[in-house]
């Protein structure tokens, strides 16, 4: 998407008071939920213009290109916005693993199993 359209699309979203919205990353091939993170307007614009997932790191308080240090990039295939305009579903092609613990998905612990939490 060109920068003008990306800026327009990002500007139509409903960000929280802290300037963020929730982003769910889903494997485009399997439908598996890979991770949940946050994005600000800049992250949304960069995601739409580059085709690579960008997030806002709440722990580092800065823009974060997924895979910039690990090489585990997320290639954007489709992005959907929810009915309230305050959350995104990004269907991605995951390169490597999504979880910083080395797992394909951040959702690998079953809460009903011992040690799940």
Domain presence at residue 100: no
pLDDT of residue 101: 94
pLDDT of residue 42: 98
Instruction: Identify the domain containing residue 44 by its residue range.
Output: 3-94
Nearest to 25 by CA among 61, 52, 50: 52
Domain presence at residue 21: yes
pLDDT of residue 115: 66
Domain presence at residue 110: no
pLDDT of residue 64: 95
Q: What is the total count of domains within the chain? A: 1
pLDDT of residue 16: 97
pLDDT of residue 117: 67
Query: Within the chain, which residues score under 70 in pLDDT?
Result: 114-117
CATH number of the domain to which 11 belongs: 3.10.20.810
Domain presence at residue 112: no
Torsion of the alpha carbons at 75, 79, 84 and 87, rounded to the nearest 10 = -10
Nearest to 99 by CA among 33, 8, 2: 33
């Amino acid at each position: 998407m060109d920068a003008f359209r990306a800026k327009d699309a990002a500007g139509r979203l409903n960000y929280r008071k802290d300037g963020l919205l929730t982003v769910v990353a889903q494997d485009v091939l399997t439908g598996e939920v890979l991770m949940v993170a946050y994005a600000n307007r800049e992250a949304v614009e960069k995601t739409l213009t580059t085709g690579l997932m960008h997030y806002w790191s709440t722990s580092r308080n800065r823009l974060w290109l997924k895979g910039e240090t690990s090489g585990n990039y997320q290639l954007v295939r489709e992005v959907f916005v929810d009915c309230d305009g305050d959350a995104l579903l990004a269907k991605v092609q995951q390169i490597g693993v999504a979880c910083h613990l080395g797992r394909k998905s951040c959702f690998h612990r079953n809460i009903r199993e011992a040690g799940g939490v």
